[in-house]
Structure 1
Amino acid sequence: MKITIAQINPIIGDIPGNTQKIIEAANKAIADKSDLLLTPELSLCGYPPRDLLLKPDFLKAMNIALQQLARDLPASLAVLVGTAQENTKAHIAGGKSLYNSIALLVEGKVKQIFHKRLLPTYDVFDEHRYFEPGNKANYFTLNNVKFGVTVCEDLWNDEEFFGKRSYSINPIAELFKSNVDIVVNLSASPYTFGKQSFREAMLKHTAMRFNTPIIYVNQVGGNDDLIFDGRSFALNKRGEVTSRARGFDTDLLQLEFDKQKHDLNVGSIAPNCECEDEEIWQALVLGVRDYVQKCRFSKVVLGLSGGIDSSIVAACATAALGKDSVLGVLMPSPYSSESSIKDADDLAKNLGITTQKLPIGDLMKSYDGTFAELFANTEFGLAEENIQSRIRGSLLMAISNKFGYLLLSTGNKSEMAVGYCTLYGDMNGGLAVIADVPKTRVYSICHWLNRNGEVIPQNVLVKPPSAELKPNQIDQDSLPDYEILDDILQRLINDYQSAEQIIAAGHDTAVVNRVIQMVTRAEFKRRQAPPGIKITDRAFGTGWRMPIANNWLAIKNAYKTLES
Structure 2
Amino acid sequence: MRIAMAQLDPTIGDIGGSLAKIRQAVAEARQHGAGLVIFPELAVTGYPPRDLLCRHDFLERVERALAEDIAPLSRETAIIIGAPVRGRGNPAFLYNAALLYSGGELCGRQDKSLLPNYDVFDESRYFKPATRRLPVFLEGLRLGLTICEDIWNDKDYWNRQLYDIDPVAEMLAQGAEILINISASPYHYGKIALRADMLRSLARKYGRPILYINQVGGNDELIFDGTSLAIDANGDVVSLAASFAEDLVLLDLERPQAGAALTLKPVKRARPGAIPAGVAPEAGRNETEFLTGEEIVISEDISYVYRALVLGIADYLHKTGFRKALVGLSGGIDSSVTAALAAAAMGPENVLGVAMPSRYSSPGSRSDARKLAANLGIAFREIPIEGMFKAYLEAMNGGGPPRGDLAEENVQARIRGNILMFISNREGYLTLTTGNKSEMAVGYCTLYGDMSGGLAVLADVPKVMVYDLARYINRDREIIPADVLVKPPSAELRPGQVDQDSLPPYEVLDAILQAYIEEEKSAEEIAGRGFDLDLVREIIRKVDRAEYKRRQAAPGLRVTSKAFGMGRRMPIAWRVG
* Secondary structure of the structure 2 residue equivalent to 1:387: helix
Whole-angstrom CA distance in 2 between matches of 1:11 and 1:134:
26
Residues 275 and 131 from structure 1, CA distance in 2 versus in 1: closer, same or farther, beyond 3 angstroms?
Answer: closer
Using the size of structure 1 for normalisation, the TM-score is 0.95
* Secondary structure of the structure 1 residue equivalent to 2:120: coil
Deviation at 1:271, TM superposition (A): 4.3
Q: Which residue of 2 aligns with 1:177?
A: 173
Q: Which residue of 2 aligns with 1:104?
A: 100
Deviation at 1:70, TM superposition (A): 3.1
- Equivalent position amino acid for 1:170 in 2: D
CA RMSD of superposed structures (Å) = 1.4
Deviation at 1:497, TM superposition (A): 1.2
Q: Which residue of 2 aligns with 1:517?
A: 541
- Equivalent position amino acid for 2:343 in 1: T
Aligned 8 A contact 2:71 2:102 in 1: no
**1:214 and 2:210 are equivalent in the alignment:** yes
Aligned 8 A contact 1:30 1:74 in 2: no
Q: Which residue of 2 aligns with 1:425?
A: 449
Q: Which residue of 2 aligns with 1:78?
A: 78
Aligned 8 A contact 1:313 1:433 in 2: yes
Q: Structure 1, residues 417-445: CA drift from partner, whole Å, max 9, x if none?
A: 00000000000010000100000000011
Aligned 8 A contact 1:145 1:259 in 2: no
Deviation at 1:110, TM superposition (A): 2.1
Q: Which residue of 1 aligns with 2:191?
A: 195
Aligned 8 A contact 1:87 1:132 in 2: no
Q: Which residue of 2 aligns with 1:528?
A: 552
Query: 1:441-456 residue pairs with structure 2 within 5 A?
Result: 441-456=465-480
- Equivalent position amino acid for 2:198 in 1: M
Q: Which residue of 2 aligns with 1:68?
A: 68
Q: Which residue of 1 aligns with 2:289?
A: none
Moved more, 256-265 or 383-392: 256-265
Q: Which residue of 1 aligns with 2:56?
A: 56
**1:165 and 2:161 are equivalent in the alignment:** yes
Whole-angstrom CA distance in 1 between matches of 2:381 and 2:252:
55
Q: Which residue of 1 aligns with 2:115?
A: 119
Moved more, 501-510 or 180-189: 501-510
**1:367 and 2:395 are equivalent in the alignment:** no
Q: Which residue of 2 aligns with 1:352?
A: 377
Aligned 8 A contact 2:39 2:80 in 1: yes
* Secondary structure of the structure 2 residue equivalent to 1:149: strand
Aligned 8 A contact 2:135 2:175 in 1: no
Aligned 8 A contact 2:238 2:265 in 1: yes
Q: Which residue of 2 aligns with 1:34?
A: 34
Whole-angstrom CA distance in 1 between matches of 2:340 and 2:42:
33
Whole-angstrom CA distance in 2 between matches of 1:425 and 1:383:
12
Q: Which residue of 1 aligns with 2:245?
A: 249
Give ranges in structure 2 of 5+ residues lacking alignment: 270-274, 279-298
Whole-angstrom CA distance in 1 between matches of 2:528 and 2:76:
64
Whole-angstrom CA distance in 1 between matches of 2:112 and 2:39:
15
**1:288 and 2:313 are equivalent in the alignment:** yes
- Equivalent position amino acid for 1:479 in 2: L
Whole-angstrom CA distance in 1 between matches of 2:90 and 2:561:
34
* Secondary structure of the structure 2 residue equivalent to 1:531: coil
Q: Which residue of 2 aligns with 1:459?
A: 483
Q: Which residue of 2 aligns with 1:47?
A: 47
Q: Structure 1, residues 442-481: CA drift from partner, whole Å, max 9, x if none?
A: 0011112212110111000000000000001000001111
Residues 71 and 215 from structure 1, CA distance in 2 versus in 1: closer, same or farther, beyond 3 angstroms?
Answer: closer
- Higher normalized helix content (fraction of residues): 1
The share of aligned pairs that are identical, in percent, is 48
Aligned 8 A contact 1:244 1:268 in 2: no
Aligned 8 A contact 1:534 1:541 in 2: no
Residues 194 and 402 from structure 1, CA distance in 2 versus in 1: closer, same or farther, beyond 3 angstroms?
Answer: same
Aligned residues: 548
* Secondary structure of the structure 2 residue equivalent to 1:426: coil
Deviation at 1:513, TM superposition (A): 1.1
- Equivalent position amino acid for 2:480 in 1: I
Using the size of structure 2 for normalisation, the TM-score is 0.93
Q: Which residue of 2 aligns with 1:558?
A: none
Residues 12 and 138 from structure 1, CA distance in 2 versus in 1: closer, same or farther, beyond 3 angstroms?
Answer: farther
Q: Which residue of 2 aligns with 1:24?
A: 24
**1:493 and 2:517 are equivalent in the alignment:** yes
Q: Which residue of 2 aligns with 1:224?
A: 220
Q: Which residue of 2 aligns with 1:148?
A: 144
Q: Which residue of 1 aligns with 2:411?
A: 387
- Equivalent position amino acid for 1:531 in 2: P
Deviation at 1:179, TM superposition (A): 1.2
- Equivalent position amino acid for 1:255 in 2: L
Aligned 8 A contact 1:307 1:340 in 2: yes
**1:12 and 2:36 are equivalent in the alignment:** no
Q: Which residue of 1 aligns with 2:293?
A: none
Aligned 8 A contact 1:242 1:267 in 2: no
* Secondary structure of the structure 1 residue equivalent to 2:474: helix
Aligned 8 A contact 1:242 1:265 in 2: yes
Residues 142 and 246 from structure 1, CA distance in 2 versus in 1: closer, same or farther, beyond 3 angstroms?
Answer: same
Deviation at 1:74, TM superposition (A): 5.0
Whole-angstrom CA distance in 2 between matches of 1:524 and 1:507:
27
Q: Structure 1, residues 241-282: CA drift from partner, whole Å, max 9, x if none?
A: 000000000000001111125121245694443642101000
Query: 1:531-546 residue pairs with structure 2 within 5 A?
Result: 531-546=555-570
Aligned 8 A contact 1:243 1:268 in 2: no
Aligned 8 A contact 1:150 1:183 in 2: yes
Q: Which residue of 1 aligns with 2:339?
A: 314
- Equivalent position amino acid for 2:350 in 1: S
Whole-angstrom CA distance in 1 between matches of 2:172 and 2:550:
46
* Secondary structure of the structure 2 residue equivalent to 1:318: helix
Whole-angstrom CA distance in 2 between matches of 1:73 and 1:458:
55
